[in-house]
Amino acid sequence: MTIIEELIEKKEKLAVIGLGYVGLPIAVSFAKTVDVIGFDINEKKVNEYKMGKDGTNEVGNDEISKTTIEFTSDEEKLLAAKFNIIAVPTPLNSDNTPDLTPLEKASEIMGRNLKKGDYVVFESTVYPGVTEEVCLPILEKNSNLKGGVDFKIGYSPERINPGDKQHRLENIVKVVSGCDDESLEEIAGVYEHIVKAGTYKVKNIKTAEAAKIIENSQRDINIAFMNELSIIFNKMNINTGEVLKAASTKWNFLNFMPGLVGGHCIGVDPYYLTYKAQQLGYNPDVILAGRKINDQMGEYIIHSAIKLMIKNQMSLKSPKVAIMGLTFKENTPDIRNTRVIDMYHELQEYGITPKVCDPVVQKDEVRREYGFDIVDFEDIKDMDVVIFAVAHKEFENLTEEELSKMFGRDKKIVIDVKGIVDCPDSYIYWSL
């Protein structure tokens, strides 16, 4: 009997370790047909899920309320599972080197609750080699079992796009790998149960790790190119958006847009790859150049705003500035590695403390993470400068009247990072 057959017949259980933006949708999807244990070390998060509250907005409160997942922060509950999926964050240290601490801690927890015959599949984005060279030894040490003999491991990178209701877990091809042929087939069989788009089997774990990390690195480089073009075209007084619309009429033009690059994937993963490359004695110039450009965009946007203020004879002593949006991308409450915070801090360098408005974030999380309070939309009034940093749908649909109420009677400066605001000619408008 295969593992997926055992799961369907409720003879075995599946566990998901890490219930964030990636782990929660996986757990909910599997729980529709198999017994699932959902584990997270964050007791507050676990309790919210038990109460039917989805702070990620990836699944929704209705789905959480109906799910049969056994939510827990008790690691011993994992002993009841045979197939285990680890989906924890892989952030960066302050020097942009990989911080594998969450992955190492999750591996320790898993190792302490591992049994003979179990499977452990990692989904966290890492540089090639981490699963077998970092995680596997931790599993073996904490379980006193031998990988590949007593238990099997695999790697299947997450491809979920937070806030995207079209490209979901079920309709994105799932790359899968295992430590041997048997594990590859078993792991693929389990994922094929919920992923209707099917799986793509690769011959080894390192290949799967590499495939994932270049997906995001490629996007990072392409966005960096667009950001550099935007800087050049602004100096030429050319509208970048109009240039890209014209260029995109060619069938093979890659339709990327300039903007802030943050979050837990595109703004992070290239540093994992460059870290490993530099360990091997190679300096990845192209990838690092892209990262340098993207990392400086917040500063560049604020410098452009300040220049506009000076050009239009606006006082820099106590201007009223608002930032609309704080999350790393539109229509998601995720503030991890958001680059909007770069603009906030850059304004503070000029002695300006802006008001920040975001209709989808969790206010207590912002206060805990960044030390300031999110204001309501109604509090954005009498402004001199309004910076639309994130393309939330609430901002895209602003009427001219709603926009006007945000400003005072003097000159009105709109900094439109993503080009979503339709401004009257009387406004002073700037966009990437």
Could you report the per-residue pLDDT of 61-91, keeping only the tens digit for each? 999 999 999 999 999 999 999 999 999 999 9
Distance, CA of 179 to CA of 384 (rounded, Å): 59
Average the pLDDT over each of 203-212, 244-253, 371-380, 401-410 and give the range with the smallest value.
401-410
What is the strand order of the sheet 321-324 is part of?
355-357, 321-324, 385-388, 413-416, 428-431
Residues 26-55 as b or e (16 or more Cβ within 10 Å = b): bbbbbbeebbbbbbbbeeebbebbeeeebb
pLDDT at 162: 64
Confidence at 160, pLDDT banded by 50, 70, 90 = confident
CATH of span 3-208: 3.40.50.720
Cα–Cα distance, 99 to 129 (Å, whole number): 15
The correct answer on CATH 3.30.930.10 for the domain covering 216-294 is no
The yes-or-no verdict on residue 93 having pLDDT over 90 is yes
Name the CATH superfamily, with its identifier, for domain 296-431. Answer: NAD(P)-binding Rossmann-like Domain (3.40.50.720)
Query: DSSP letter at 14?
Result: E
Which helix or strand (DSSP H or E) is residue 271 part of? helix 269-279
Angle between helices 285-295 and 205-235 (to 10 degrees): 50
In this prediction, residue 262 carries a pLDDT of 85
Query: Residue 71 and residue 359: Cα distance in Å, rounded?
Result: 28
When pLDDT is averaged across residues 249-261 and rounded to a whole number, the result is 94
Structure confidence at residue 389 (pLDDT): 96
Number of helical (H) and strand (E) elements in the chain, helices listed first:
17, 13
User: In a 3-state reduction of DSSP, which class is residue 152?
Assistant: strand
pLDDT digits (tens, 9 = 90+) for 330-388: 998 889 889 999 999 999 999 999 999 999 999 999 999 999 999 999 999 999 999 99
Burial of 172 (0-12, 13-18, 19+ CB in 10 A): middle
Do β-strands 174-178 and 152-155 pair in parallel, antiparallel, or remain unpaired? antiparallel
Whether 179 is a known active-site residue: answer no
Mean pLDDT of 218-230: 96
Domain ranges of the chain: 3-208, 216-294, 296-431
Single out the residue of 1, 7, 26 nearest to residue 16, CA to CA: 26
Mean pLDDT, residues 114-135: 97
Q: Are strands 152-155 and 119-122 parallel, antiparallel or unpaired?
A: parallel
**Across the chain, which distance is largest between two alpha carbons, in Å?**
76
Q: Do domains 3-208 and 296-431 have the same CATH topology?
A: yes
Find residue 321's DSSP bridge partners: 385
Cβ atoms within 10 Å, residue 233: 18
Q: What is the pLDDT of residue 167?
A: 64
pLDDT of 165 higher than 70: no
According to the model, what pLDDT value does residue 259 have? 94
The span from the CA of 202 to the CA of 214, in Å, is 15
Strands (E), 59-173: 70-72, 81-86, 119-122, 152-155
What is the rounded CA–CA span in Å between residue 241 and residue 293? 19
Q: Is 225 exposed, middle or buried (0-12, 13-18, 19+ CB in 10 A)?
A: middle
User: Can you give the pLDDT at residue 336?
Assistant: 86
Convert 378-409 to b/e letters by CB count within 10 Å (16 or more is b).
eebeebbbbbbbbbbebbeebeeeebeebbee
CB neighbour list of residue 148: distance below 8 Å, 6 or more residues apart: 179, 180
DSSP class per residue in 304-319 = HHHHHHHHTT--SSS-
Distance separating alpha carbons of residues 323 and 327, to the nearest angstrom: 11
Q: Residue 397's pLDDT is what?
A: 85
For residue 154, which phi and psi values (nearest 5 degrees)?
-155, 175
Model pTM score: 0.91
Catalytic annotation, pick one of 179, 265, 357, 423: 265
Q: Which residue has the tokens 């506009």?
A: 308
Contact between residue 119 and residue 131 where contact means Cβ atoms under 8 Å apart? no
Q: Has residue 48 got a pLDDT over 80?
A: yes
Average pLDDT on 8-12 reads 96
The whole-number pLDDT of residue 410 equals 80
Q: What is the mean pLDDT of residues 3-18?
A: 97
Q: For the ranges 160-164, 262-266, 314-318, 415-419, which has the lowest average pLDDT?
A: 160-164
Q: In which element (H, E) is residue 36 found?
A: strand 36-39
DSSP string covering 125-137, please?
Answer: ---TTHIIIIIHH
Mean pLDDT to the nearest integer, 294-323: 94
How many whole angstroms separate alpha carbon 224 and alpha carbon 99? Answer: 24
Mean pLDDT of the chain: 94
pLDDT of residue 166: 65
Do residues 430 and 414 touch, judged by C-beta distance below 8 A? yes
